[in-house]
């Protein structure tokens, strides 16, 4: 059995800073579900049955610093999903079914300059289609093995100039990285 929240479910919680919706068998959420929760700082929606999100669902949550979407059914994320979330520090996408993660989830003028933790573990990722993740690794090469090299195919690296300095990146298990080494 899966569940959905109705529009307005959290409207009266305008000072809400922390929301944990973990393990609720949630399948769908309306686009404006968090629109009146502008103070929302940490949102946990892991271990549900969510396969897709409306691209504007987090547009009013500009102070959001942690977003957990692990253990759902995502195969991709919509363009612009995190374009208003420039304060985002932690993004957890592990244990989904994503082969690609398009950099267009952030809009080009609001790249995630504060992003420090990106967890992609247990996704069937193809490194050649996740150029921006590879670029993050390349920029932070000193944190990882110094003999790592990457093959770039059709990557727009100008997007990342002075953009991201990760402190933690998880690509452990079940990833299909095409060339590292």
Provide block-wise average pLDDT over 10 residues at a time, the chain (181 residues). 78 94 94 95 96 95 96 93 89 88 66 71 67 55 37 42 47 49 38
Closest CA to 64 of 93, 92, 79, 84: 84
What is the per-residue pLDDT for 178?
Answer: 47
Give the contacts of 45 (CB within 8 A, at least 6 positions apart). Answer: 21, 22, 26, 67, 68, 69, 72
- Report the CATH fold assignment for 1-181: 3.80.10
Q: Note the pLDDT of residue 123.
A: 80
Per-residue confidence (pLDDT) for residue 6, from 0 to 100: 76
Q: Which residues 6+ apart lie within 8 Å of 157 measured at CB?
A: 131, 135
Contact 74, 50 (CB under 8 A): yes
Cα–Cα–Cα angle for 3, 31, 38, rounded to 5 degrees: 105
pTM, to two decimals: 0.75
């Amino acid at each position: 059995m899966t569940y959905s929240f109705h529009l307005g479910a959290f409207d009266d919680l305008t000072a809400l800073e922390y929301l944990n919706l973990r393990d609720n068998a949630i399948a769908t959420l309306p686009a404006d579900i968090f629109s009146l929760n502008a103070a929302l700082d940490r949102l946990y929606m892991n271990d549900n049955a969510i396969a897709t999100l409306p691209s504007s669902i987090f547009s009013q949550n500009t102070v959001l610093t942690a977003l957990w979407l692990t253990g759902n059914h995502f195969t991709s994320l919509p363009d612009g999903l995190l374009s208003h979330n420039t304060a985002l520090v932690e993004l957890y996408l592990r244990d989904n079914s994503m082969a690609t993660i398009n950099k267009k989830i952030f809009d080009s003028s609001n790249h995630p300059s504060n992003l420090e933790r990106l967890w992609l573990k247990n996704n069937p990722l193809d490194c050649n289609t996740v150029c921006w993740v590879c670029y993050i690794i390349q920029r932070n090469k000193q944190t990882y093995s110094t003999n790592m090299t990457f093959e770039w195919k059709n990557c727009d690296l100008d997007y990342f100039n002075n953009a991201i300095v990760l402190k933690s990146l998880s690509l452990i298990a079940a990833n299909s990285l095409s060339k590292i080494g």
